[in-house]
């Protein structure tokens, strides 16, 4: 059994947190070794977590929050998985 790119995206949080069962972790790692887009997606995910933790603990400016919300609403419903 192989994981699809969509399945990798669904399991990403559990994988990063270390809560994915060993058999699924093995399948996911095998997929990442053979799928460059998913491997890049995983690296981006790790980088995002690292950078987010490095941010100062201050509220974001209201103007930025409004723009961010608008962009997220525009992109809602788009495909977030690789290779499919």
Interval 26-67: pLDDT, tens: 999 999 999 999 999 999 998 998 898 898 888 889 999 999
**DSSP single-letter state for residue 76:** T
**Chain mean pLDDT for the chain:** 87
Give the pLDDT confidence score for residue 29 in this predicted structure.
92
| Structural domain contains residue 82 | no
Q: Is 35 helix (H, G, I), strand (E, B) or coil?
A: coil
Answer whether residue 81 is part of any domain.
no
> Does the residue 13 lie in any domain?
yes
Q: Kindly state whether residue 52 falls inside one of the protein's structural domains.
A: yes
Q: What is the dihedral of CA 57, 63, 68, 70, to 10 degrees?
A: 150
Per-residue pLDDT at 2: 80
Distance CA 45, CA 64 (A): 22
Question: How many domains, in total, are found in the chain?
Answer: 1
Rounded distance between C-alpha atoms, residue 4 and residue 27, angstroms: 10
Domain membership of residue 13 as a residue range: 5-74
pLDDT score recorded for residue 78: 53
Q: Check: pTM over 0.85? Answer yes or no.
A: no
pLDDT of residue 77: 57
- How far is Cα 77 from Cα 73, in angstroms, rounded to an integer? 9
């Amino acid at each position: 059994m192989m994981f699809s790119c969509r399945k990798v995206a669904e399991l990403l949080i559990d994988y990063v947190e270390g809560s994915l069962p060993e058999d699924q972790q093995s399948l996911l790692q095998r997929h990442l070794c053979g799928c460059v887009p998913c491997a890049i997606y995983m690296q981006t995910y790790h980088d995002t977590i690292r950078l987010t933790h490095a941010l100062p603990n201050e509220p974001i400016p209201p103007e930025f929050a409004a723009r961010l919300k608008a962009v997220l609403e525009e992109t809602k419903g788009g495909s977030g998985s690789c290779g499919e």
